Amino acid sequence: MKKIVCTFLCFAAAFFLGGLAARTKEHFFPEALETSADSNWGLSFGQDGEPPAANATYETLAKYNTYYAEDTKEKRIYLTFDAGFENGNTEAILDALKKHLVPATFFVVGTYIKNNPELIRRMKEEGHTVGNHTYHHPDMSQISTKESFEKELQDVEAEYQKITGEEMTKFYRPPQGKYNEDNLRMAKELGYHTFFWSLAYVDWYEDDQPTKEEAFDKLLRRIHPGAIVLLHSTSKTNAEILDELLTKWEEMGYTFGSLEQLIS
């Protein structure tokens, strides 16, 4: 009986310590992503208002013309949107950007361009950049040949040129942040700059949208100098709060730059 009790107490202690460790990690690194440099883009947040720790350094990424934030103390934000499809929220987002004279980059997939030519033209006419989010939104880290990698990007370029009559700006964002160093190298060889992000939040579930309060808690508390912010244009919450969010960031002393300015 003593042996059984001892075993039970050992299991209980292990369970308690494991749970404590998990809660400690959640407290100090909320929404931390355990990743390697050859898998998913990952961030660990520490002190509010400071850049997060990423799973690749500024210096490593710079070799491949890749960015996740600007290394600066200036209160500047680079606003980006990922657009996999259109569900009626982009016009409100564009209205808010226009009101505040804020430039943004929209990383779009091929079918988005094909199905929403007027929105693409409006983005361009209002001074925004349309970036490349691949045609089919695959896991690009699983694509090993340059030919296949290039096709995912070139098919988007072709759709954009068909709609606008102009060449697409060679800005690339890996779908879901999945990448490896070969991908970054191939993108650079194709003339692309790759952009990850230093601030995002869970805004992509259409049927489980964050509340305004939840959105502001993440986006105001974690904003930092030089941030590349990723929002999804499919988010109803983002469409509803963007005007107020931009106002709040401005009141905090932030200005807005374009990714073109970041790389110049």
Give pLDDT tens digits for 129-149: 999 999 999 999 999 899 999
Residue that wins the pLDDT comparison between 4 and 51 = 51
List the Cα angle 60/63/66 in 5-degree steps.
80
Is residue 201 very low, low, confident or very high in pLDDT (cuts 50, 70, 90)? very high
Contact call for residues 83 and 235 (beta carbons, < 8 A): no
Other C-beta atoms within 10 Å of 219: how many? 22
Percent above pLDDT 70 for the chain: 86
d(Cα 168, Cα 23) in Å, to the nearest integer? Answer: 45
User: Which of 128, 193, 224, 232 is labelled catalytic?
Assistant: 232
Beta-strand ranges (E) seen in 53-192 are 53-54, 66-67, 76-83, 105-108, 129-132, 171-172
Contact partners, residue 174, CB within 8 Å, separation at least 6: 41, 134, 140, 141, 183, 194, 196
- The continuous run of DSSP H or E covering 228 comes out as strand 227-232
The answer to whether residue 44 scores a pLDDT higher than 80 is: yes
Q: What is the pLDDT of residue 39?
A: 73
pLDDT for the residue numbered 73: 97
What's the rounded mean pLDDT across residues 216-231? Answer: 98
Q: Is 133 a catalytic residue?
A: no
Choose between 54 and 22: higher pLDDT.
Answer: 54
| Selected catalytic residue, list 27, 71, 82, 217 | 82
Higher pLDDT, residue 20 or 246: 246
State yes or no: is 224 an active-site residue. Answer: no
CB count within 10 Å of CB 62 equals 11
pLDDT at residue 159 is higher than 60 = yes
